Amino acid sequence: MHKLILPLLIVVLGSSWGTAQQTEKNQIICASDTAPYRDFDFVLGEWDFLTAKGKKIGEQIYTKRESGCMILEEWSTLSGSTGTGMSFVDPATGLWRQVWMSPMFHIDYSGKLDEKGNMVLEGTLYPNNGDNSAPVRGIWAPQPDGSIKQEFLRFNEAAETWESFFLGFAHPKAEAE
């Protein structure tokens, strides 16, 4: 008889949990259409990534995951390098947070939209070879032509300035081909 109790318990708890998720009290807030949860949606889609001079160097795919609570980025270059990013609103701070990993380094940073509508994240870049970490800033700036300017900067402590180390433009795949 005990062989029937566990499956029955799973069915009962599973159905009541599913019902609880449907109530207003247990609404999934991060899946709502309110700010800041949709502030980074402008990156969603498939993109060709080009240098400032217009040469294609890679591709990006941004998709919604986890009931709309996370944006997954998949990056690949024409030379075969890859990277994956996970972006979400951190419930502890209310800021967007991105954790990005590649074979060369990983980044953990957070931020929000600035007054121009650009997503600006700041945090730390950690080289995977053991070199020193560095402060890093990423800026995703929607452009009038539908592309997104992406610039990444490191903080130069000696000069006390942010210095660009990567700049490019994501163009919607349908338009770039």
Tens-place pLDDT, residues 129-141 = 999 999 999 999 9
Phi, psi (deg, nearest 5) at residue 32: -80, 170
Coil, helix or strand at residue 137:
strand
**Domains of the chain, CATH where assigned:** 29-176 (2.40.128.20)
- Euclidean distance between CA atoms 44 and 64, whole angstroms: 7
Q: Backbone dihedral region of 98: left (phi > 0), alpha (psi from -120 to 50 degrees) or beta?
A: beta
Per-residue pLDDT for 121 more than 80?
yes
Chain segment 63-76, per-residue pLDDT in tens: 999 999 999 999 99
Residue 15 makes CB contacts below 8 A (sequence gap 6+) with none
Cα torsion at 75, 149, 86, 175 (round to 10°)? -60
Geometric angle at alpha carbon 125, from 122 and 129, rounded to 5° = 175
Residue 175 pLDDT:
54
- Euclidean distance between CA atoms 60 and 62, whole angstroms: 7
Maximum distance among all Cα pairs of the chain, rounded to whole angstroms: 74
**Alpha-helical regions (H) of the chain:** 2-22, 173-176
Its pTM stands at 0.83
Dihedral of CA 64/66/68/72: which sign?
Answer: negative
Residue tagged 């592309």 (tokens) = 147
How does residue 35 score in pLDDT terms, banded at 50, 70 and 90? confident
